[in-house]
């Protein structure tokens, strides 16, 4: 992304509901104009609270939130000029699609002829031209959510907030809506802050993802960096599949360390979070980085035993007993040259040390 101006800023923001427990702790987060940033994390991690503070439905206990360089703490929600989409659509059930979209324009005293143009444009963005006279109950769940997206965009806001907007949809519809929202964002360039607990949704849609846990951002990165280069064990476990080994650093030099595992074996890893010999660590390795019958160039090469074989169409998943971990996962692409893989068989497994990351102990 090109470097745009900073548009949303959380400056050392805390939030407590009871005066004792902080649900958001010292949050510093900058979002650029035109960015699609997703707040991702498990329930209770603080992500929705951050969105509600940005929307104006909650007030920070400490710190400031800026929108386009203006402090917004004392500006009521309806005067912030922010579009919002919720999981439950929040459409007015007694109003037609047209009336639902006209509502935010009427509040802003937009003349009717101009409002009609804006409504046409918003409905064409979500492919619902011709649905103006329908009532919400006459629409499918996916169509209702499209109307909710159109209503959040109809008054040309600079910022749109989306709180688990696809949570109520079935898998196929959810995936098509992900692409639809992503394409709308790309075509109009509005800044989007999106909340979800669904990691694949976040990876699909976002320019950057803020991974929340325990009220703090654990990592803020692009989707590929988050997956390939997690900075701690929580992020490695939360984003995508992950194999882990517990152990202690037995040697470290430059960009490689030796880790003595609980099983007594040694592996080589990338020392991301460890500094010196004797440090405890959890080594993280993505399943697709390990291969069967590795070449001599791979500096980790170990014998394992296949415990389970699961066919997945485009690939086969192997659960392997390897170096004391009996739930080590391998993904083998299914092709005509596929290996003879059966449960109970011994195999050689290898990977490069740069792909196994020595992180904080779990």
Question: What are φ and ψ of residue 233, in 5° steps?
Answer: -65, -35
The answer for residues whose C-beta is within 8 angstroms of residue 171's C-beta and 6 or more apart is: none
CATH superfamily for 6-233 is P-loop containing nucleotide triphosphate hydrolases (3.40.50.300)
Domain 241-359 has CATH 2.40.50.140: yes
CB 38 within 8 A of CB 206: yes
Tokens of 43: 């329930």
Given a cut of 50, is residue 2 above it in pLDDT? no
Question: What are φ and ψ of residue 25, in 5° steps?
Answer: -125, 115
CB 66 within 8 A of CB 12: no
Torsion angle defined by CA atoms of residues 23, 28, 33 and 39, in that order, rounded to the nearest 10 degrees: -40
Mean pLDDT of 150-163: 93
DSSP state of 260: E
pLDDT in tens, 58-69: 999 999 999 999
Query: Residue ranges per domain, the chain?
Result: 6-233, 241-359
- Integer Cα distance of 191 and 80 in angstroms: 14
pLDDT in tens, 211-266: 999 999 999 999 999 999 999 999 999 998 999 999 999 999 989 999 999 899 99
- Integer Cα distance of 110 and 294 in angstroms: 66
**pLDDT score recorded for residue 319:** 95
pTM: 0.89
Mean pLDDT of 19-29: 94
Lookup result for tokens 């949303």: 8
- Integer Cα distance of 36 and 207 in angstroms: 5
């Amino acid at each position: 992304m090109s470097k745009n101006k900073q548009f949303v800023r959380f400056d050392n923001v805390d939030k407590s509901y009871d005066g004792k427990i902080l649900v958001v702790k010292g949050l510093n987060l900058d979002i650029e104009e035109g960015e699609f940033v997703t707040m991702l994390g498990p329930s209770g991690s603080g992500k929705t609270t951050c969105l509600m503070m940005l929307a104006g439905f909650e007030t920070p206990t400490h710190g400031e939130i800026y929108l386009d360089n203006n402090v917004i703490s004392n500006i009521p929600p309806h005067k912030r000029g922010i579009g919002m989409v919720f999981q439950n659509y929040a459409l007015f059930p007694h109003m037609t699609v047209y009336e639902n979209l006209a509502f935010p324009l009427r509040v802003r005293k937009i003349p009717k002829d101009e409002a009609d143009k804006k409504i046409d444009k918003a409905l064409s963005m979500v492919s619902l031209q011709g649905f103006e006279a329908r009532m919400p109950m006459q629409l499918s769940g996916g169509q209702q959510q499209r109307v909710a997206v159109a209503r959040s965009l109809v008054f040309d806001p600079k910022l749109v907030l989306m709180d688990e907007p696809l949570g109520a949809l079935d898998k196929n519809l959810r995936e098509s809506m992900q692409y639809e929202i992503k394409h709308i964002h790309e075509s109009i360039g509005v800044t989007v802050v999106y909340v979800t607990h669904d990691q694949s949704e976040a990876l699909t849609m976002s320019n950057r993802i803020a991974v929340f846990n325990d009220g703090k951002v654990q990592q803020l990165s692009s989707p590929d960096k988050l997956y390939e280069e997690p900075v701690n064990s929580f992020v490695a476990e939360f984003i995508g599949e992950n194999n882990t080994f517990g152990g202690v650093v037995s040697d470290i030099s430059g960009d490689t360390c030796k880790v003595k595992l609980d099983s007594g074996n040694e592996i080589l890893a990338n020392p991301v979070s460890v500094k010196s010999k004797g440090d405890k660590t959890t080594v993280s390795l993505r399943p697709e980085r390990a291969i069967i019958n590795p070449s001599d160039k791979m500096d980790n090469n170990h014998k394992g035993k296949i415990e389970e074989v699961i066919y997945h169409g485009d690939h086969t998943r192997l659960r392997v007993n390897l170096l004391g971990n009996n739930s080590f996962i391998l993904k083998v692409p299914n092709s005509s040259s596929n290996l003879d893989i059966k449960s109970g068989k011994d195999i050689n497994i290898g990977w490069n040390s740069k792909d196994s990351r020595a992180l904080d102990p779990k």
